[in-house]
């Protein structure tokens, strides 16, 4: 938490209620049909789900449970029943009326909403369990489910992604809550603050009550011990003896369904609050959505199409990227995504701009000089800009900037000067949009060499360097370089240190059978 | 340099020269701070050119690339090209240094071409070089090193493994267990890979630091090195106080006997200030002013001279804190350089005044406990270092329990960092170099 965030939280404490954070919404909140809410519960000590609830906002959830959460066959059968809904929602090529040919066939974006980060971890557990499994009634479907969960988990780690929404994180991004950070991981706690009317004390009391109810994938230990354990035991005994176990299964389902439905309903409520939020979407979100669909195609759907066509689609390891080029490429892509997220949204949100100033990545300055260093017909406009404040700065000579509101007009810092008591002054060479943009209006319509810029007060921020990361990613494909013997060499066999994922998975599935 | 030191250095240089002559494909050289690694690199580059080899040098920043060119310009027999961005303004780096922006204009024959590793990785190289030297190689991530595979088939990497690892702008959990984690320092991955064979060498002399400072930073390294300086030949002797008394004066007086002292100020019972610590910022600036007001002689071997503002450097980990210190420096702004430790890498001053990286951080994360920043801050001075901190740091370290959260099979960097941080304070306390202020 930086000082700006601390001040915002103090203001929320003073107001006794959550306060909106940011001028605009920085995430897409689609209509109900494009949102699938997903919630899990699991048995204590187990990694796979005991029950799952899913559905769209506005409709009740479908709740699936198994009597014995440790029985992997039962769990796999349950997940096979859930798989068509999840895969269909993601526009899985296997379930689409016609095979997609690119990102455009995956639009409009469809999201998965999860209550909190423990439910996201369940996607990883499902990926580990099913991506490479070779046992089960319907192995291809289980593998497809595993691949989808693996992709969703990987995608959830990409900065600016728009497919997997963690309800608690989405609310924290949209509001500043008058509460300690550690308590803001509980969805019921956050919603109690947002839904309470009256003074802060009443909201706090309700939030405290909500906080007592488990929202993660694990159940309250007392619920599991007192209500569920006896039922599971009776179900096991009855099953072994060939007696009627169904009524115990119904009892287990009833308890789990109540837990799952609460998690589902609260996630729907989080979606509803953000859907009804009067703040409009940041204009840069459209770019983020476009990129999300591109990634969905390249990182998941394209492989699914290949597999459907009987080809050997590349399925990445669930754990990590084992090939050096794949790892470096994914790393560069994620770096580019972080760059885009960090530099795009700021153009349409004054609060984000203020944060960038606080971090030292942006400033407001007045143009005090304009000159053209170009020769002949070539123009090279240079602005002299005096900074208005003396806040922190990470800007150096050579840093790349752009104009707020006109990100394509980029500038390089040539020199920084200013003695004690003088304002910091920058000499900025304009590197892109060096002339007026024909047919444009506003700043873009005025040539940077025009002396009417003198006296103008402008906001500057760091320009996106994502194009460099993308170029790096592209170059990483070339393995014919002279140093490839080292840079693309096969990594050492690390199985002595870590279990091979595929082998571990095979061991598990053998144990199942 | 003693005869034994000289002999070891000559042996190291000779093995690397032989490696160059025999066209060895890979060499990795570990060096402590201020060991003259760039000097060695230039020596090797000059030798390679004399053997008719076409040499590329990769630096981590443009400033480092310019510095290498300036130093090469003092070697008149070497033809040098500074490979730079088309957007950058040409800089006069010496008579034998040509400014080149297009890969096709790089010297085709025996010469040295110097650019940043980022530049080398991004352009399309027309004709590969005979060898690529990489300076400050521990600052280079594996992903960036991979891109340099187009420059040459042969690599010589030289760097300081104790410094700050490559900057990682994103969450890297996905690659923590990758056999070639793209975010990790390239030389570390090379040295860990038992399938890769190459020349591995250590420089073992620190030319920059005084004797006691070497002892203080040695635990941050996994190879031994020793100081070139003799005991007592580097010091900062502060003049009389002229009747004016400052509570931290004893810390300045200590610099006449040993090169490192520390000043702590009490921590508020409610915890240290958030992000910017105005009290510590003001104290840091006061120490700088006081050193200059009292006047001091700075000894660096036989070179003894009065302390000037440009001899002093200041460092704190956060930019906002540096901005606060900068403001407090008043008339000394921009003469006394104030930078983050990341920016201080590769630089030195006669005297450094630094804010301890854990000062104000009552709940450090695992990342905070890695020692790169502290190591850089404690190894920039030639004669004197004053560490400024809130007094909670020892208590904070005492109360911290490392959780060993690293992936299976990976070293416990956080646990080791925690231990090294503790040892750093213990050493200062044991040597009575901690001055605890009352308010």
Sorted by where each begins, the domain ranges of chain A are: 20-216+276-283, 343-464
- The per-residue pLDDT for range B96-133, each reduced to its tens digit, is 999 999 999 999 999 999 999 999 999 999 899 999 99
Contact B146 A360 (CB under 8 A): no
How many Å apart are CA B152 and CA A485, to the nearest integer? Answer: 11
Looking at the domain covering A343-464, what would its CATH class be? mainly beta
The confidence band for A255, taking pLDDT boundaries of 50, 70 and 90, is: very high
| A48-52, A53-57, A429-433, B401-405, range with the lowest pLDDT | B401-405
- Among A396, A421, A487, A488, the residue to mutate for chain B (most B Cβ within 10 A): A487
Chain B residue with CA closest to A398: the answer is: B88
How many Å apart are CA A138 and CA A307, to the nearest integer? Answer: 16
Contact B323 A488 (CB under 8 A): no
What ipTM did this prediction achieve?
0.89
- The per-residue pLDDT for range B100-110, each reduced to its tens digit, is 999 999 999 99
The predicted structure's pLDDT at residue B196: 83
The predicted structure's pLDDT at residue B439: 66
Of B175, B194, B332, the CB nearest to A331: B175
The size of chain A, in residues, is: 513
Contact A157 B173 (CB under 8 A): yes
Choose among B323, B337, B240, B250: nearest CA to B288: B337
- Report the mean per-residue pLDDT for chain B: 92
- Among A400, A486, A489, the residue to mutate for chain B (most B Cβ within 10 A): A486
Contact A482 B88 (CB under 8 A): no
The predicted structure's pLDDT at residue A496: 37
Q: Taking CB atoms and an 8 Å cutoff, what residues of chain A touch B26? A: 486
Q: Percentage of chain A with pLDDT > 90?
A: 74
- Given a cut of 60, is residue A507 above it in pLDDT? no
Please state the rounded mean pLDDT for residues B391-420: 89
- The per-residue pLDDT for range A97-106, each reduced to its tens digit, is 899 999 999 9
- Report the mean per-residue pLDDT for chain A: 91
The predicted structure's pLDDT at residue A440: 86
Q: Is A374 on the interface with B (CB under 8 A)?
A: no
Q: Percentage of chain B with pLDDT > 90?
A: 75
The predicted structure's pLDDT at residue A436: 92
The predicted structure's pLDDT at residue A327: 93
Q: Taking CB atoms and an 8 Å cutoff, what residues of chain B touch A3? A: 274-276, 320
Of A392, A412, A431, the CB nearest to B319: A392
pTM above 0.80, yes or no: yes
| A260-264, A296-300, B90-94, B385-389, range with the lowest pLDDT | B90-94
Please state the rounded mean pLDDT for residues B190-208: 91
Of A320, A484, A490, the CB nearest to B174: A320
Please state the rounded mean pLDDT for residues A252-268: 97
Choose among A347, A504, A5: nearest CA to B274: A5
- Given a cut of 50, is residue A405 above it in pLDDT? yes
- The per-residue pLDDT for range B149-160, each reduced to its tens digit, is 999 999 999 999
CA angle B168, B174, B179 (to 5 degrees): 90
Mean pLDDT is highest, among A157-166, A193-202, A485-494, for: A157-166
The predicted structure's pLDDT at residue A420: 62
Please state the rounded mean pLDDT for residues B162-182: 90
Q: Percentage of chain A with pLDDT > 70?
A: 95
Backbone CA torsion sign across B385, B287, B367, B346: negative
Please give the DSSP secondary-structure letter assigned to residue A227. Answer: I
- Among B149, B153, B281, the residue to mutate for chain A (most A Cβ within 10 A): B149
For A492, counting Cβ atoms within 10 Å of its Cβ (0-12 exposed, 13-18 middle, 19+ buried), the class is: middle
For A77, counting Cβ atoms within 10 Å of its Cβ (0-12 exposed, 13-18 middle, 19+ buried), the class is: middle
- Given a cut of 90, is residue B296 above it in pLDDT? yes
Pick the more confident residue, B323 or A412: A412
DSSP for A42-101, please give it.
E-TT-SSEEEEEEE-TTSPPEEEE-S-TT-HHHHHHHHHHHHHHHHHHTT-TTTSSS---
The confidence band for A419, taking pLDDT boundaries of 50, 70 and 90, is: low
The predicted structure's pLDDT at residue A504: 37
């Amino acid at each position: 938490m930086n000082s700006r965030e601390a001040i915002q939280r103090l203001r929320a404490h003073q107001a006794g209620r959550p306060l909106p954070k940011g001028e605009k919404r920085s995430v897409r909140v689609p209509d109900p049909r494009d949102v699938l809410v997903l919630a899990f519960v699991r048995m204590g000590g187990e990694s796979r789900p005991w029950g799952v609830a899913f559905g769209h906002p506005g409709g009740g959830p479908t709740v699936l449970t198994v009597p014995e959460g440790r029985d992997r066959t039962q769990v796999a059968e349950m997940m096979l029943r859930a798989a068509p809904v999840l895969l269909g929602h993601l526009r899985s090529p296997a379930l689409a009326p016609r095979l997609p040919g690119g990102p455009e066939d995956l639009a409009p974006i469809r999201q998965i909403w999860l209550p909190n980060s423990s439910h996201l971890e369940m996607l990883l557990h499902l990926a580990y369990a099913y991506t490479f499994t070779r046992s089960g009634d319907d192995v291809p479907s289980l593998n497809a489910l595993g691949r989808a969960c693996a992709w969703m988990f990987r995608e959830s780690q990409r900065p600016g992604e728009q497919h997997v929404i963690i309800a608690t994180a989405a609310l924290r991004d949209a509001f500043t809550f008058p509460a300690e950070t550690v308590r803001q991981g509980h969805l019921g706690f956050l919603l109690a603050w947002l839904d309470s009317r009256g003074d802060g004390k009443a909201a706090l009391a309700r939030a405290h009550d909500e906080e007592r109810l488990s929202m993660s994938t694990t159940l309250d230990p007392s619920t599991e011990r007192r209500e569920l354990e006896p039922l599971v035991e009776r179900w096991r005994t009855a099953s072994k003896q060939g007696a009627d176990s169904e009524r115990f299964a119904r009892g287990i389902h009833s308890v789990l369904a109540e837990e799952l439905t609460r998690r589902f309903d609260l996630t729907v409520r989080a979606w509803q609050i953000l859907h009804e939020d009067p703040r409009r979407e940041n204009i840069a979100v459209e770019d983020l959505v476009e990129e999300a669909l591109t990634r969905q195609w390249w990182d998941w759907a394209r492989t699914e199409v290949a597999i459907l066509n009987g080809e050997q689609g590349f399925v990445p390891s669930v754990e990590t990227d084992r090939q050096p080029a794949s790892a470096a490429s994914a790393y560069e892509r994620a770096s580019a995504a972080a760059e885009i997220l960090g530099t795009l949204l700021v153009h349409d949100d004054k609060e984000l701009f203020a944060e960038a100033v606080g971090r030292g990545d942006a400033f407001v300055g007045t143009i005090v000089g304009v000159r053209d260093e170009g020769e002949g017909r070539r123009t090279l406009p240079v602005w002299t800009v005096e900074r208005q404040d003396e806040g922190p700065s990470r800007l150096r000579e050579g840093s790349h900037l752009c104009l707020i509101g006109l990100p394509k007009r980029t500038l390089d810092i040539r020199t920084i000067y200013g003695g004690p008591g003088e304002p910091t002054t920058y000499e900025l060479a304009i590197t892109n949009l060096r002339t007026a943009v024909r047919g444009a209006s506003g700043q873009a319509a005025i040539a940077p060499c025009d002396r009417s810029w003198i006296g103008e007060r402008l906001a500057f921020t760091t320009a996106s360097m994502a194009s460099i990361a993308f170029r790096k990613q592209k170059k990483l494909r070339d393995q014919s370089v002279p140093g490839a013997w080292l840079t693309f060499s096969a990594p050492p066999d690390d199985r002595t240190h870590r279990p091979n994922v595929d082998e571990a998975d095979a061991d598990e599935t053998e144990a199942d059978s | 340099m003693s005869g034994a030191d000289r002999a070891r250095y000559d042996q190291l240089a000779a093995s690397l020269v032989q490696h160059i002559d025999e066209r060895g494909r890979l060499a990795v050289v570990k060096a402590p701070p201020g060991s003259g690694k760039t000097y060695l690199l230039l020596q090797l580059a000059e030798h390679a050119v004399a053997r008719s080899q076409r040499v590329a040098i990769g630096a981590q920043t443009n400033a480092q690339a310019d510095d290498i060119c300036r130093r090469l310009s003092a070697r008149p027999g070497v033809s040098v090209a500074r490979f730079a961005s088309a957007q950058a303004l040409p800089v006069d780096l010496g008579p034998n240094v040509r400014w080149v922006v297009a890969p096709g204009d790089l010297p085709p024959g025996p010469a040295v071409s110097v650019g940043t590793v980022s530049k080398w990785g991004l352009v399309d190289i027309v004709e590969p070089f005979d060898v690529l030297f990489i300076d400050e190689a521990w600052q280079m991530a594996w992903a960036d090193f991979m891109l340099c595979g187009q420059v040459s088939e042969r690599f010589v990497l030289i760097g300081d493994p104790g410094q700050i690892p490559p900057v990682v702008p994103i969450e890297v959990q996905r690659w923590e267990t990758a056999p070639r984690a793209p975010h990790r320092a390239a030389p570390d991955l090379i040295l860990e890979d038992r399938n890769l064979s190459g020349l591995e060498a250590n420089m073992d002399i620190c030319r920059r630091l005084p004797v006691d400072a070497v002892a203080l930073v040695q635990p941050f390294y996994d190879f031994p090195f020793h100081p070139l300086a003799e005991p007592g030949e580097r010091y900062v002797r502060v003049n009389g106080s002229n009747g004016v008394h400052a509570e931290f004066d004893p810390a300045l007086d200590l610099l006449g006997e040993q090169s490192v002292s520390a000043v702590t100020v009490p921590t508020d019972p409610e915890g240290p200030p958030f992000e910017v610590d105005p009290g510590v910022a003001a104290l840091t600036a006061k120490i700088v002013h006081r050193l200059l007001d009292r006047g001091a002689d700075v000894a660096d071997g036989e070179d003894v001279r009065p302390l000037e503002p440009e001899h002093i450097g200041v460092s704190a980990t956060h930019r906002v804190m540096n901005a606060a210190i900068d403001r407090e420096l008043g008339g000394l702004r921009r003469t006394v350089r104030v930078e983050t430790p990341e920016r201080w890498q590769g630089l030195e001053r006669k005297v450094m005044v630094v804010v301890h990286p854990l000062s104000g951080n009552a709940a450090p994360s695992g990342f905070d406990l890695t020692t790169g920043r502290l190591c850089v801050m404690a190894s920039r001075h030639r004669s004197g270092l004053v560490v400024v901190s809130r007094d909670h740091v020892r208590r904070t370290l005492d109360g911290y329990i490392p959780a060993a959260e690293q992936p299976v099979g990976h070293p416990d960097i956080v646990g080791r960092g925690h231990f090294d941080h503790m040892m750093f304070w213990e050493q200062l306390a044991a040597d009575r170099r901690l001055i605890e202020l009352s308010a």
